[in-house]
Structure 1
Amino acid sequence: MNDVELIAVTKRYGGGAVAVDGIDLVIPPASYTCLLGPSGCGKTSTLRMIAGHEEVSEGDILLAGRNVTALPPAKRGTAMMFQSYALFPHLSARDNVAFGLRMRGVAKVERLARADKFLELVHLSHLAERLPAQLSGGQQQRVALARALITEPRVLLLDEPLSALDPFLRAKMREELKRLQRELGISFIHVTHSQEEAMALADLTVVMDHGRIAQAGPPREVFEKPASSFVARFIGGHNVLARAQGSFAVRTDRMRLAAAGNGPQHAGQVSALEYLGAAVRVVVAAADGTEAEALLADADFHAAPVALGQGATLVWDLADEHALAA
């Protein structure tokens, strides 16, 4: 039985604005799903409808085969971790984690014992007595995560949970989230605008655009075979190019700097250079303004470097072209 199923789900706001437009989505059990897309694409509205914090205008939401469309959040078997963490500043980490059980009338001894168990799960047992102001951003996030998990939800919903963290801590917390999801064996649905985050975490990547699902599939499939020019550009790492018969994508790491030949090529002047450590990003602008870029291994670039403004040609193999839908 699938953990979550959305059937023709639509969300309209006042004035007729459509935030989510008739989407269908199946989330298999014990999976990590990332809803990915630019601001305003409908991903957060979708998450909030699953949680019950937004009403569904049309369609149905099923959790574990049960229609929960009209049920309040507390009756759905989900828990939500908000972007702001929303910790109570006057409560210790332990009491923050235990708060949901307190509201359910669980006895103090039992709820604190369970809070300790979940603090141990997120490696915060040693900070149980600290107030939120005495914790780092990453530690506050772990407290919020433990508080959401202590209710033992069937599905955990996460609204951009890593956006406030610095890049190093963000990478560490990605590892923690994936570890917890695997250990607990429940489904996580995670909203993000970060392509890197979705690629690193997801079993199922759902790319949204203007309230619709542009593509859904395993991250490698979405990256290797983007369904449209929007997906190819948004996921990144692709050039979207065109010939008379249609558009196609070529991964930037499949492009090479070389002399013009008989195969496919893009010639012009180097318009941007970025040293990225292990790689160098080279952008070449053609005379008509069309740009293409190559992501070259550091050693390959420095074996035959080019400079800004210099003429250059990018070449690739026909086998590396991926046709895009109109």
Structure 2
Amino acid sequence: MDIELVGLTKRYGDTLAVDAIDLKIRSGSYCCLLGPSGCGKTTTLRMIAGHETVSSGDVVIGPKAVGDLPPAQRGTAMMFQSYALFPHLTCRDNVAFGLKMRGMPKAERLRRAEAMLGLVQMEALAARLPAQLSGGQQQRVALARALVTGPKVLLLDEPLSALDPFLRVRMRTELKRLQTELGITFVHVTHSQEEAMALSDLVVVMNGGRIEQAGDPRTVFERPATAFVARFIGGHNVIALPDRRVAVRADRMRLGAEAGPDAAPARVVAVEYQGSAVHLGLEAPDLGTDAGTPLTAILSDRAYAATPFRLGDLVRVGWQAGEAHRLDA
């Protein structure tokens, strides 16, 4: 189902947590709400779910406004960060629990629970208790429990944050596979730029309770709307030129003869080998950066091997025409 947020606002006393945001999420898409802690992304998710009251504005799911409806009447399901599995119930019974609360006969609810465990590749462990599962296995059970009631919208609150890096990559592949197979709308809260880029059709970057930019991952990365987006998404240098403020991708920075018309003198202050690439930190006093932070230039390992740089080296740094993206004020 389509989701539309209309002037959605949340206040806690004098604190404005979400500030009159407007957003449309099309049916069957994977949307990631991305931003730092305290930006309002989880509060927004909880208002969509009905676990948080709306101060003003509305939530529209499908054809109707649901801002005043309880969670069970919204056609949504929520997967919590802690997974919140019942420790005394088996995987099968955890998944079947929501169906039991709806009065479904035992045989039918267990059949559906088994089928859903099969979808997340956990049918072989259906009789185990949560304490007998790894973190990734618990996550799969929690996902099956959220999906078994047949929601039109699945809401996920940082579902991968408790997993180790290797398993996190594997599980985000599984999430995308499931979303594609089921064809339902996923809304996923994360503070990980990499996670949002890998999963989403729509990235919504939030800051201070507002939406800084919403768009497909490539557009948000290639053309950040504001300095905040450029910094938070990463991979960009935010540079104040005499007549404008711009973002330049770190992998598009050029050194020496290729530095372009805006080249400036710089000193190498950091060299970090990253395997396929080398990250150089550069102090360039003539190119104003936020809080005087060094510029970053990313070179391929082959380019660096051909022209290695050392700490303290003096170079010229810049970019080719067209590589600087103007930022909104």
TM bracket (short chain)? over 0.9
Hey, what does 2:171 align to over in structure 1? 173
Query: What corresponds to 2:74 in structure 1?
Result: 76
Runs of 4+ in 1 over 4 A off after TM superposition: 259-262
- The offset of 1:261, in angstroms, is 6.0
How far does residue 168 in structure 1 lie from its aligned partner after superposition?
0.7
Deviation digits for residues 68-87 of structure 1 (CA, Å, limit 9, x no counterpart) = 00001111100000000000
CA 260–287 in structure 1, closer or farther in 2 if over 3 Å, else same: farther
* Contact preservation (8 Å) 1:42, 1:210: yes
Aligned length: 324
Counterpart for residue 201 of structure 2: 203
SS at 1:269 equivalent? strand
Amino acid at match of 1:286: A
SS in 2 for 1:271: strand
Superposition deviation, residue 312 in structure 1: 2.5
Q: Could you tell me which residue of structure 1 aligns to residue 320 of structure 2?
A: 317
The residue number in structure 1 matching 2:289 is none
Please report how far the alpha carbon of residue 259 of structure 1 lies from its aligned counterpart in structure 2 after TM superposition: 4.2
Counterpart-to-counterpart distance in 2, 1:151 and 1:247: 50
User: Distance in 2 between the 1:261 and 1:92 partners?
Assistant: 62
Any idea what the Cα deviations from partners look like across 1:91-132, whole Å, max 9, x if unmatched?
111111111101111111100100000000000111111111
Segments of 5+ residues of structure 2 without an aligned counterpart are 287-291
SS at 1:318 equivalent: coil
Percent of paired sites with the same residue: 64
Q: Output the amino acid matched with 1:254.
A: R
1:1-326 → structure 2 map (5 Å cutoff): 3-14=2-13, 16-259=14-257, 263-287=261-285, 289-326=292-329
Q: Within 2, Cα distance between the matches of 1:200 and 1:220?
A: 10
CA distance in 1, matches of 2:259, 2:88: 69
Q: Distance in 1 between matches of 2:294 and 2:194?
A: 23
Please give the alpha-carbon distance, in whole angstroms, between the structure 2 residues aligned to 1:70 and 1:201.
Answer: 30
Amino acid at match of 1:308: L
Query: Deviations along 1:234-279, whole A, 9 cap, x unmatched?
Result: 1001011111111001111111222486612242211222111111
Q: Scaled by the length of structure 1, what TM-score is found?
A: 0.97
Quote how far apart the aligned CAs of 1:307 are. 1.2
Contact 1:260/1:313 (<8 A) preserved: no
CA RMSD of aligned residues (A): 1.2
What do residues 141-174 of structure 1 show as CA deviations (whole Å, max 9, x unaligned)? 0000000000110100000000011111000011
> In 1, distance between residues paired with 2:46 and 2:252?
39
State how far apart, in whole Å, the 2-side matches of 1:313 and 1:165 are.
Answer: 42
Q: Cα 1:190–1:260, aligned 2, differ >3 Å: closer, same or farther?
A: closer
Task: Give ranges in structure 1 of 5+ residues lacking alignment.
Answer: none
